[in-house]
């Protein structure tokens, strides 16, 4: 296990992408629930971390973590890393500003800036149930359909039809089984495939946990963002979330 240090903890925002117990086997860190609006600012003040790894974020029942929060954290000298899910999306968007991205999902969003945000979204159980995934991410399904075609388990035409259905299905209903059903393929053909699904998001999350200590060593001390300016929009967002806006200037 990596990550032990005395220069401030590593923080990881983690939800349904990877089981908490599995993450703790890889990295000694402070694990927090998926980040929503204001959580990065509050976590910075609560823990004084040397780095934050954003994997999962909230977006449906709370506003998502704002880009300005991440920029603020980097301006304070906190190394910001993103991977796998919303973290990959934010890292791709803020890479020019110095946020570090890890993994295939991050590279995919960097290459295709107009790729849909909901490609990594899933429906999950509440925190009390460990954020158990209830649906499948589009990016995991697309990787799975490609693998099934390479193995000769589905045809090229069936892969195209499955991918088209998955793309147009609401993320709250998007599952391997639903895609097969909507395309009209027999349920028996899908029955044995659940165990073969590619969990690319989880793969990227594991990679980011393993790489985080080395990334921090390379980046720590070199403030990636020299200039940062608060905006009225950011202040209004924080006030709407009942967060003390003076925290912006007190760090």
Q: What is the DSSP string of 72-132?
A: HHHHTT-EEEEETTHHHHHHHHHGGGT-EEESHHHHHHHH-TTS-GGGS---B--GGGTT-
**Could you read off the pLDDT of 106-157 as tens digits, one per residue?**
999 999 988 999 999 999 999 999 999 999 999 999 999 999 999 998 999 9
Mean pLDDT of the 170-186 span: 91
Higher-confidence residue of 75 and 1: namely: 75
Q: Are 20 and 60 in contact (CB under 8 A)?
A: no
Strands 51-54 and 30-32, by their bridges, are: unpaired
Q: Which two tokens stand for residue 115?
A: 């790729």
How far apart are the C-alpha atoms of 96 and 22, rounded to whole Å? 31
In this prediction the pTM is 0.92
**Could you read off the pLDDT of 121-135 as tens digits, one per residue?**
999 999 999 999 999
Q: For residue 169, what are the contacts with CB-CB under 8 A and spacing of at least 6? A: 178, 179, 182
Mean pLDDT of the 231-241 span: 89
Higher-confidence residue of 124 and 2: namely: 124
**Could you read off the pLDDT of 197-223 as tens digits, one per residue?**
999 999 999 999 999 999 999 987 776
How far apart are the C-alpha atoms of 80 and 75, rounded to whole Å? 10
């Amino acid at each position: 296990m990596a990550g032990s240090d005395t220069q401030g903890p590593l923080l990881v925002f983690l939800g349904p992408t990877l089981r908490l117990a599995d993450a703790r086997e890889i990295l000694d860190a402070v694990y927090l629930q998926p980040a929503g609006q204001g959580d990065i600012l509050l976590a910075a003040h609560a823990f004084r971390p040397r780095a934050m790894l954003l994997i999962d974020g909230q977006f449906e029942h709370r506003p998502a973590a704002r880009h300005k929060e991440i920029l603020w954290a980097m301006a304070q000298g906190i190394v910001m890393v993103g991977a796998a899910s919303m973290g990959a999306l934010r890292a791709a968007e803020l890479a020019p500003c110095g946020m570090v991205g890890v993994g295939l999902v991050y590279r995919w969003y960097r290459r295709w800036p107009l790729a849909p945000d909901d490609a990594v979204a899933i429906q999950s159980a509440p925190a009390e149930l460990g954020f158990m995934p209830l649906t499948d991410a589009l990016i995991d399904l697309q990787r799975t359909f490609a693998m099934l075609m390479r193995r000769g388990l589905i045809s090229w035409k069936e892969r195209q039809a499955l991918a088209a259905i998955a793309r147009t299905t609401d993320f709250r209903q998007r599952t391997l089984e639903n895609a097969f059903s909507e395309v009209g393929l027999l349920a028996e053909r899908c029955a044995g495939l659940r165990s073969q699904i590619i969990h690319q998001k989880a793969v990227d999350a594991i990679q980011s946990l393993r790489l985080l200590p080395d990334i921090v060593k390379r980046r720590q001390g070199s403030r990636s963002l020299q200039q940062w300016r608060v905006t009225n929009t950011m202040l209004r967002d924080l006030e709407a979330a009942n967060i003390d806006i003076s925290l912006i200037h007190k760090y």
